[in-house]
Amino acid sequence: MKFTCYKSDLNEALQFAVRAVAVKPMTPILTGIYMRAEGSVLEIHSNNFATGIIVRIPVNTEIPGEVVVNGKKLHEFVRSIPGETLVLSDEIDSSVLKIDASSAGVELLTMSCSDFPKVKYSEGENSFQIRTKTLRDLIRKTVFAVAKEDSRPVFTGCSFELAKDRILMVATNTHRLALASELLPETYPSCSFVVPAESLRGLLARISPDDVDNQVTVSYSTRYLMFSFDNVFVSSRLIEGMFPPYDRVIPSTNTTLVTVDTAEFKAAVDFVALMSKETEYNTVKFTFGDNNIEVSSASPEIGGAVKHVKAEIEGEDLEISFNVNYIADVMRVIDSQKVNIGLTNRLSPAVFTEPDNDGYVYVATPVRA
Amino acid sequence: MKFTCYKSDLNEALQFAVRAVAVKPMTPILTGIYMRAEGSVLEIHSNNFATGIIVRIPVNTEIPGEVVVNGKKLHEFVRSIPGETLVLSDEIDSSVLKIDASSAGVELLTMSCSDFPKVKYSEGENSFQIRTKTLRDLIRKTVFAVAKEDSRPVFTGCSFELAKDRILMVATNTHRLALASELLPETYPSCSFVVPAESLRGLLARISPDDVDNQVTVSYSTRYLMFSFDNVFVSSRLIEGMFPPYDRVIPSTNTTLVTVDTAEFKAAVDFVALMSKETEYNTVKFTFGDNNIEVSSASPEIGGAVKHVKAEIEGEDLEISFNVNYIADVMRVIDSQKVNIGLTNRLSPAVFTEPDNDGYVYVATPVRA
């Protein structure tokens, strides 16, 4: 194998691909990244079985071939090696991949290509199209609400639900729930599947808000799903099982409706969180009344903190407490200038919505304080 | 107690003072920061017994008084509280310090002022004056070479030696040694003492390269030393004992003299260090010859890396290996455009010097590879 490429292309591709290199692998081969050069394309594979990544970059292949080397080290060296173009090569029956730059060289021991679990292109008949920006918003507005790894498996992922021309994503840890939906330009057959949060977080890392708004093809079968866009392919296993019905946990009425500036409310929550962190249950208290929100928290060991925020409040005055992370998390993803908070009483869930977006709902269960 | 101050002044002072708040204190009082307001001055003390810090800032005192509160929390809240000016107050016999800003308030539980180990102003008859920039350079060019905490106590500090109008600082872990000296504008009586590296690192954090070049007064007694400048006072215990004679470990002759561009050599060492990290002893090999330095490292599990750097080489060709950290560390503090490396053979120490600075010497012992 022998090919020439731009260092920046290879570095960018590896930076993403290393995300699917196993951190504590069961077998050494999973520390590897697989590369295959042919013609004008290098294909890079990484696979930790939960997530698989394929990235293609343009190269100039002199001798086609394939190789597996330690992924983390390959990325470290390619990132740091001087020069603009690199030559990567191995010799038949050698066990070394050479990376040559102007004044520097690296040799990495190779591993067996046949042992490496190459990522399979999804051949699923089922697929739909979505814009990268839409997909990014759906993921980032829900994925934070998933349950931790040690919970029921189905709640460690986000549920995708497709119905006609609407896509809906839901995540919950049973104490809070985030639901985002968007219209698609076309109509598709109904389907639903649960995708591990880790795969979605990996995908988020590749879709920058500054990127051109691309088309993503999502192909799925019963056990796997693949996102394809822009010479990048991210495959993910699906989590078995389905979400229980969640519609009824979203309160449909409220007796107190609050509208408050998103940035001001977020700042108040983040400030008082410094004290909530010192309490046993991360508790933050909200007192709604007189068109004012008092955000406060008290710790018996450290003291107390309070911040006032002006708000429009319709309906009854109310005092209600939450785990501060449940509120701080949603305030990080609210995009509208103001946020609506619907409340009923101090034991009933609060509902966060964006005034200009019917598609987003976040529900948080209060703590009894 | 009641005073008003600028948030930025208090925040900056606390940011430095928290450096001497104990991380894992033996008694809760050492998590505290002590503040005393009187007239136009607030004095802030922190003390972990190895290092003590006093910072003074301008305030407007309405009711003089003193207070001790959790230092880390005080800093977190002052940093995050909104507004430009703050009012800090407590009430007689209350156990709470109040911090009031425009729309936010914090209450921190107070601790006993009489229990707090206030930092003592050094009353030592002995003192000398030095510029902040000179002191900063002396510290940063030597302190990295100290031994780890579990070594002989005297080697965990830097030795200060004053003789007439010259100040000299030395640090060593017995495998490497850094020595920096500077002329002082005045002549002082001879003295020497060993200062813990931790206190010096704390001091470095306060002397930014962008700061105005101030005068520092260094006062010392047999057990303590205090640096005073610009409303900041840093006190440090001294380490008992003296450095053994180290002059003879600095080779006075060499058979190979290398002159190389500092930035290029540093980049080569940092690049090859990525492979050295994978070897048992962090080994990097230098091959000097043909006006070229080959920097290389090989790991049986990962592979090898090599980088070439042009250099002027006088004398015999040589191959010599080091712990890569010993070389990377000194290359971070060399200020001159080129660096001189003096060598004798593969088992003898290398000597690093700056062509334009007689006052700096760094000696590193090779590894047998």
Name the residue of chain B whose CA is nearest to A105's CA. Answer: B306
Number of Cβ within a 10 Å radius of residue B358: 9
CA-angle at A325, arms to A320 and A330, nearest 5°: 90
In angstroms, the CA B44 to CA B23 distance is 18
Q: Coil, strand, or helix at residue A173?
A: coil
Q: Is B76 on the interface with A (CB under 8 A)?
A: yes
Q: Which of B64, B89, B115 is the last residue of a domain?
A: B115
In angstroms, the CA B161 to CA B167 distance is 6
The whole-angstrom distance between B107's CA and the closest CA on chain A is 5
Per-residue pLDDT at A369: 67
Inter-chain contact B82–A278, Cβ cutoff 8 Å? no
Among A170, A172, A139, A138, smallest CA distance to A155 is for A172
Residue A282 phi, psi dihedral angles, 5° rounding: 55, 40
pLDDT digits (tens, 9 = 90+) for B51-83: 999 999 999 999 999 999 999 999 999 999 999
Is B120 part of a structural domain of the chain? no
DSSP type of residue A209: T
Inter-chain contact B271–A103, Cβ cutoff 8 Å? no
In angstroms, the CA A36 to CA A114 distance is 12
Is B369 part of a structural domain of the chain? no
Mutate to test the interface with B, among A260, A275, A284, A292 (most CBs of B within 10 A): A275
Number of Cβ within a 10 Å radius of residue B312: 11
Is A55 part of a structural domain of the chain? yes
Is A369 part of a structural domain of the chain? no
- Residue A333 tokens, joined: 């993803």
Is A121 part of a structural domain of the chain? no
Cα torsion A196, A197, A201, A206: sign: positive
Name the residue of chain B whose CA is nearest to A293's CA. Answer: B103
Residue A230's pLDDT band (boundaries 50, 70, 90)? confident
Same domain for A134 and A243, yes or no, is: yes
Same domain for B190 and B238, yes or no, is: yes
Same domain for A94 and A183, yes or no, is: no
The residue whose two tokens read 């920006």 is: A133
Residues B45/B116, Cβ–Cβ less than 8 Å: yes
Mutate to test the interface with A, among B79, B98, B271, B324 (most CBs of A within 10 A): B271
Name the residue of chain A whose CA is nearest to B83's CA. Answer: A307
In angstroms, the CA B311 to CA B318 distance is 13
In angstroms, the CA B190 to CA B225 distance is 15
Q: Which residues of chain A from 274 to 293 reach within 8 Å of chain B, CB to CB?
A: 274-275, 278
Instruction: Average the pLDDT over each of A137-146, B9-18, B147-156, B253-262 and give the range with the smallest value.
Output: B147-156
Average pLDDT in the B313-334 region?
97
Per-residue pLDDT at B247: 86
> What is the distance in angstroms between the CA of the first residue and the CA of the last residue of chain B?
66
Give the domain range for residue A313. 250-364
Element (H, E) at B127: strand B126-131
Q: Which of B73, B93, B115 is the last residue of a domain?
A: B115
Same domain for A333 and A274, yes or no, is: yes
Residues B49/B237, Cβ–Cβ less than 8 Å: yes
The side-by-side arrangement of strands in the sheet containing A357-364 is: A157-172, A176-196, A357-364, A350-354, A338-343, A256-261, A312-315
Q: How many domains does chain A have?
A: 3
B146: domain CATH number is 3.10.150.10
Evaluate whether ipTM surpasses 0.95. Answer: no
Residues in chain B, overall count:
369
Inter-chain contact B106–A82, Cβ cutoff 8 Å? no
DSSP type of residue B366: P
Give B206 or B115, the one with higher predicted confidence: B115
Same domain for A236 and A257, yes or no, is: no
Q: Which of A73, A96, A115 is the last residue of a domain?
A: A115
Same domain for A263 and A224, yes or no, is: no
For residue A106, list chain B residues with Cβ-Cβ distance below 8 A. 275, 303-306
pLDDT at B270 over 80: yes
The residue whose two tokens read 């905490």 is: B149
Instruction: Tell me the pLDDT of chain B averaged across its residues.
Output: 94
Is B147 part of a structural domain of the chain? yes
- Residue B224 tokens, joined: 């303590």
Is A176 part of a structural domain of the chain? yes
Average pLDDT in the B256-282 region?
97
Query: Which region holds residue A49: left if phi is over 0, alpha if psi is between -120 and 50, else beta?
Result: left
Number of Cβ within a 10 Å radius of residue A26: 8
pLDDT at B345 over 90: yes
DSSP type of residue A47: E
Per-residue pLDDT at B91: 87
Mutate to test the interface with A, among B95, B302, B309 (most CBs of A within 10 A): B302
Same domain for A255 and A243, yes or no, is: no
Same domain for B25 and B53, yes or no, is: yes
pLDDT digits (tens, 9 = 90+) for A59-116: 999 999 999 999 999 999 999 999 999 999 998 888 999 999 989 999 999 999 999 9
Radius of gyration from C-alpha coordinates of chain B: 25
Inter-chain contact A106–B306, Cβ cutoff 8 Å? yes
Residues in chain A, overall count:
369
Residues B136/B238, Cβ–Cβ less than 8 Å: no
Spatial neighbors of A254 by CB under 8 A, at least 6 apart, are A315, A342, A343, A344, A351
In angstroms, the CA B235 to CA B241 distance is 19
The whole-angstrom distance between B320's CA and the closest CA on chain A is 19
The residue whose two tokens read 């020497």 is: B192
Residue B148 half-sphere exposure toward CB, CA atoms < 13 A: 1
Inter-chain contact A302–B73, Cβ cutoff 8 Å? yes
For residue B278, list chain A residues with Cβ-Cβ distance below 8 A. 73
Q: Coil, strand, or helix at residue B159?
A: strand
Among B121, B117, B122, B119, smallest CA distance to B193 is for B122
DSSP type of residue B368: -
pLDDT at A122 over 80: no
The whole-angstrom distance between B197's CA and the closest CA on chain A is 31
Element (H, E) at B167: strand B157-172
Spatial neighbors of A131 by CB under 8 A, at least 6 apart, are A213, A214, A215, A216
pLDDT at A227 over 80: yes
In angstroms, the CA A97 to CA A33 distance is 12
Of A70, A103, A307, the CB nearest to B302: A70
In angstroms, the CA A311 to CA A343 distance is 14
Q: Is A263 on the interface with B (CB under 8 A)?
A: no
Average pLDDT in the B233-242 region?
93
Residue B263's pLDDT band (boundaries 50, 70, 90)? very high
Inter-chain contact B270–A80, Cβ cutoff 8 Å? yes
Same domain for A18 and A97, yes or no, is: yes
- Residue B212 tokens, joined: 């105005």
Residue A368's pLDDT band (boundaries 50, 70, 90)? confident
3-state helix, strand, coil in chain B (%, to 5): 20, 50, 30
Number of Cβ within a 10 Å radius of residue A226: 22
Is A15 part of a structural domain of the chain? yes
Inter-chain contact A274–B108, Cβ cutoff 8 Å? no
Same domain for A153 and A226, yes or no, is: yes
The whole-angstrom distance between A310's CA and the closest CA on chain B is 10
Residue B331's pLDDT band (boundaries 50, 70, 90)? very high
Q: Is B82 on the interface with A (CB under 8 A)?
A: yes
Same domain for B137 and B235, yes or no, is: yes
pLDDT digits (tens, 9 = 90+) for A254-310: 999 999 999 999 999 999 999 999 999 999 999 999 999 999 999 999 999 999 999
Q: Coil, strand, or helix at residue A256?
A: strand
The residue whose two tokens read 């003096």 is: B342
Element (H, E) at B32: strand B32-38
In angstroms, the CA B226 to CA A191 distance is 72
In angstroms, the CA B138 to CA B234 distance is 17
Same domain for B203 and B265, yes or no, is: no
Q: Is A109 on the interface with B (CB under 8 A)?
A: yes
